[in-house]
Amino acid sequence: MLLKTFAHIGFGRPLILGSKFFMFKNLKLVSWIFMALLGAFAVAGIALNRGESINALWLITAAVCIYAISYRFYAAWIATKVLMVDETRATPAERLDNGRDFIPTNKWIVFGHHFAAIAGPGPLIGPTLAAQFGYLPGTLWILIGAVLGGAVQDMVTLFFSTRRNGRSLGQMARDEIGVIGGTAALIGTFLIMIILIAVLGLVVVNAMKHSPWATSTVAATIPIAMIVGIYMRNIRPGRVLEASLIGVVLLLLSVFAGGWIDHNENLRTYFDHDGLPLAYAIIVYGFAAAVLPVWLLLAPRDYLSTFMKLGTILLLAIAIVILRPDIHMPAVTQFIDGTGPIFGGKLFPFVFITIACGAISGFHALISSGTTPKLLSNERDIRMIGYGGMLLESFVAIMAMIAATVLEPGIFFAINSPAGVVGKDAIDAVAKINSWGFAVTVEQMQQLASDMGESTLFARTGGAPSLAVGMASIFGSAFGRHLLALWYHFAIMFEAIFILTTLDAGTRVGRFMLQDMLGNFSKKLGETSYTPSVILTSAIVVAGWGYFLYIGVIDPNGGVNILWPLFGIANQMLAAIALCVATGILVKSGKLKYAWVTGLPLVWLVVVTSTAAWQKIWSEDIRIGFFAAANDLSAKVASGMLPPEKAAVAPQLIFNQHLDAYLTLFFVVVLWVVILDMLRLCLRYLTGKHVLKLSEVPHEPSRLVENWVRD
Partner 1 sequence: MFKKLRHLWHILRRLSGDDAYEQYLKHHAQFHQATIDAPPPLSRKDFFKLWQDNQWRGVKRCC
- Tell me the closest approach of the beta carbon of residue 454 to partner 1, in angstroms: 27
Of the pair 115, 387, the CB lying nearest partner 1 is at: 115
> What does the alpha-carbon distance between residue 171 and residue 163 come to, in Å, rounded to a whole number?
13
Of the pair 571, 610, the CB lying nearest partner 1 is at: 571
Angle between helices 22-48 and 56-69 in degrees, nearest 10: 140
Q: List strand residue ranges (DSSP E) for 260-417, in order.
A: 326-327
Of the pair 366, 595, the CB lying nearest partner 1 is at: 366
Q: Is 688 in the site for partner 1 (CB under 8 A)?
A: no
Q: Is 170 in the site for partner 1 (CB under 8 A)?
A: no
- Tell me the closest approach of the beta carbon of residue 4 to partner 1, in angstroms: 15
Q: Is 537 in the site for partner 1 (CB under 8 A)?
A: no
Q: Is 35 in the site for partner 1 (CB under 8 A)?
A: no
Q: Is 112 in the site for partner 1 (CB under 8 A)?
A: yes
Identified binder of partner 1 from the candidate list 66, 82, 118, 472, rule CB under 8 A: 118
Q: Is 241 in the site for partner 1 (CB under 8 A)?
A: yes
Identified binder of partner 1 from the candidate list 51, 99, 643, 701, rule CB under 8 A: 99
Is residue 215 within 8 A of residue 208, CB to CB? The reply is yes
Q: Is 711 in the site for partner 1 (CB under 8 A)?
A: yes
Q: Is 492 in the site for partner 1 (CB under 8 A)?
A: no
Residues forming beta bridges with residue 89, ordered by sequence position: 701
> What does the alpha-carbon distance between residue 95 and residue 89 come to, in Å, rounded to a whole number?
10
By CB under 8 A, what part of segment 289-318 binds partner 1? 294-295, 298-299, 302-303
By CB under 8 A, what part of segment 567-586 binds partner 1? 571
Q: How far is CA 503 from CA 93, 244, 310, in A?
A: 29, 20, 19
Spell out the residues 6+ positions from residue 140 whose beta carbon is closer than 8 angstroms to its own. Answer: 47
Of the pair 164, 508, the CB lying nearest partner 1 is at: 508
Of 52-60, 86-94, 503-511, 677-685, which segment contacts partner 1 by CB under 8 A? 503-511
The three-class DSSP label of residue 327 is: strand
- Tell me the closest approach of the beta carbon of residue 605 to partner 1, in angstroms: 16
The three-class DSSP label of residue 89 is: strand
Is residue 583 within 8 A of residue 627, CB to CB? The reply is no
Q: Is 361 in the site for partner 1 (CB under 8 A)?
A: yes
Judged by CB under 8 A, how many residues of this single chain contact partner 1? 48
By CB under 8 A, what part of segment 176-235 binds partner 1? 196, 232-234
> What does the alpha-carbon distance between residue 14 and residue 380 come to, in Å, rounded to a whole number?
10
**HSE-up (13 A, CA, CB side) for residue 291:** 18
Q: Is 363 in the site for partner 1 (CB under 8 A)?
A: yes
> What does the alpha-carbon distance between residue 154 and residue 399 come to, in Å, rounded to a whole number?
21
The C-alpha angle 150, 332, 565, rounded to 5 degrees, equals 50
Of the pair 502, 557, the CB lying nearest partner 1 is at: 502
Q: How far is CA 555 from CA 446, 549, 559, in A?
A: 25, 10, 5
Q: Is 668 in the site for partner 1 (CB under 8 A)?
A: no
> What does the alpha-carbon distance between residue 139 and residue 373 come to, in Å, rounded to a whole number?
30
Q: Is 530 in the site for partner 1 (CB under 8 A)?
A: no
- 625 closest CA partner among 635, 633, 615: 615
**Residues forming the site for partner 1 (CB under 8 A):** 99-101, 106, 108-109, 112-113, 117-118, 120-123, 168, 196, 232-234, 237-241, 244, 294-295, 298-299, 302-303, 356-357, 361, 363-364, 366-367, 370-371, 501-502, 505-506, 508-509, 571, 711
